[in-house]
């Protein structure tokens, strides 16, 4: 039984998410997210592509962490008859679904088959048991400390035989930035991320059937460290753990981090070495699974494919 009032004991207190700071960062970045979210958009597109590989016909869909609603339209195009719910931690992000503002966005999506809910994925979800046939979540887990509760709620709101797809960041994400900061001070500057195996165990503890895990390392190149830090801030990816260093980052500290940041050659042989740019690693973990009927029926489920993606690099 999951204790719904306590965080995971496996998450050290200094790495627990400060929800007040998380909401502040998410609200502040709502207007700038779309201009700098090319990495998140690519991950979301890969996640959506996987839906096409399975023979799914969901009638009730939850987009957990829908943010500014950038991918609700893609879901509606795939499943035009489905009821779709977009849920996010930030009410400001939910209102900032387009450059034209909340009114036009709501007029576009206010049909009965599309709704918006402001909620915390790390608390009990405001949905009935078995409410959804499909739950899709893009990069929400890095911002939730109560991961066992999240998995238990995911299992609860899925209908029997329902499917979930989720993406998250693995431990090697932003490893270069983490190492650069470690040479400057001993404070926490980068969030902690779940290992793929821990993620699979989490879903299994919640009773979700045969979670399929996939991981790859993605390299994103930036002009310099300042550009990387600016993109992280513009997409709300600030360090919001409780053990973070308080106060603004000084100019001198940023310069020391930039000097310590490794200018290593890309692991991708197709990318030419460029000593004037830096590489930021993203360990992408993708998982999908089902709320089981029974073990025998799951093994014979038609249309199941395990898909492996190769690493690629982007130029920011």
How do residues 259-281 score in pLDDT, each as one tens digit?
999 875 555 544 445 556 899 99
Residue 293 has pLDDT above 80, yes or no: no
Q: Does position 26 have pLDDT exceeding 50, yes or no? A: yes
Residue 186: CB partners within 8 Å, gap ≥ 6?
none
The answer to whether residue 304 is domain-embedded is: yes
Is residue 313 in a domain?
no
Q: Does pLDDT of 9 surpass 50?
A: no
Secondary element (H or E) of residue 309: none
Is residue 261 a part of any domain in this protein? yes
Mean pLDDT over the full length of the chain: 82
Question: What is the model's pLDDT at position 242?
Answer: 82
Between CA 290 and CA 303 the distance in angstroms is: 13
Q: Give 313 or 47, the one with higher predicted confidence.
A: 47
pLDDT band at 94; cut points 50, 70, 90: confident
In angstroms, the CA 18 to CA 282 distance is 22
pLDDT surpassing 80 at residue 78: yes
Residue-level pLDDT at 107: 60
Q: Which residue has the higher pLDDT, 7 or 160?
A: 160
Assess if residue 258 is contained within a domain.
Answer: yes
Which structural domain, as residue segments, surrounds residue 161? 13-308
pLDDT of residue 108: 62
* pLDDT for position 139: 94
Q: Say what percent of the chain tops pLDDT 90.
A: 49
Give the Å distances, CA to CA, from 169 to 144, 175, 185, 227: 12, 11, 24, 20
Span between the terminal Cα atoms of the chain, in Å: 45
**Which pLDDT value is given to residue 105?**
52
Q: What local confidence, expressed as pLDDT, does residue 274 receive?
A: 56
Domain-embedded: residue 289: yes
pLDDT of residue 80: 87
Residue 199 burial (C-beta neighbours within 10 Å; 0-12, 13-18, 19+):
buried
In CATH, what number is assigned to the domain containing residue 293? 3.40.50.150
pLDDT of residue 1: 40
Report d(CA 52, CA 297) in Å as an integer. Answer: 21
The total number of structural domains in the chain stands at 1
Judged against a pLDDT cut of 70, whether residue 228 lies above it is answered with yes
Residue 303: pLDDT band (50, 70, 90) is very low
Would the pTM count as exceeding 0.75? yes
Q: Can you give the pLDDT at residue 192?
A: 87
Q: Which residue has the higher pLDDT, 96 or 64?
A: 64
pLDDT at 307 over 80: no
Residue 315 lies in a domain: no
């Amino acid at each position: 039984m999951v204790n719904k009032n306590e965080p995971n004991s496996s998450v050290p207190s200094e790495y627990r998410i400060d929800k007040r700071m998380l909401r502040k960062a998410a609200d502040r970045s709502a207007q700038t997210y779309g201009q700098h979210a090319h990495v998140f958009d690519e991950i979301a597109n890969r996640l959506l592509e996987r839906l096409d590989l399975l023979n799914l016909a969901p009638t009730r869909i939850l987009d957990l962490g829908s943010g500014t609603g950038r991918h609700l339209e893609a879901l509606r195009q795939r499943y035009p008859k489905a009821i779709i719910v977009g849920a996010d931690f930030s009410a400001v992000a939910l209102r900032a679904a387009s450059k034209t503002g909340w009114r036009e966005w709501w007029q576009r999506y206010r049909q009965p088959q599309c709704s918006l809910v402001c909620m915390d994925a790390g608390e009990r979800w405001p949905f009935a048991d078995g409410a959804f046939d499909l739950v899709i979540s893009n990069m929400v887990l890095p911002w939730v400390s109560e991961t066992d509760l999240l998995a238990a709620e995911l299992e609860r709101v899925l209908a029997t035989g329902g499917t979930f797809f989720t993406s998250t960041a693995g431990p090697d994400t932003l490893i270069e930035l983490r190492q650069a900061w470690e040479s400057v001070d001993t404070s926490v500057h980068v969030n902690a991320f779940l290992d793929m195996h821990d993620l699979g165990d989490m879903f299994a503890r919640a009773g979700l059937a045969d979670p399929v895990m996939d991981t790859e390392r993605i390299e994103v190149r930036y002009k310099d460290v300042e550009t990387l830090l600016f993109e992280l801030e513009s997409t709300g990816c600030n360090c919001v753990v409780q053990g973070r260093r308080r106060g603004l980052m000084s100019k001198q500290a940023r310069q020391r981090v930039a000097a310590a940041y490794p200018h290593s050659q890309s692991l991708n042989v197709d990318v030419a070495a460029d000593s004037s740019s830096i590489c930021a690693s993203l360990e992408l973990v993708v998982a999908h699974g089902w709320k089981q009927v029974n073990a025998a029926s799951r093994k014979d489920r038609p249309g199941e494919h395990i898909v492996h993606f190769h690493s690629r690099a982007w130029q920011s």
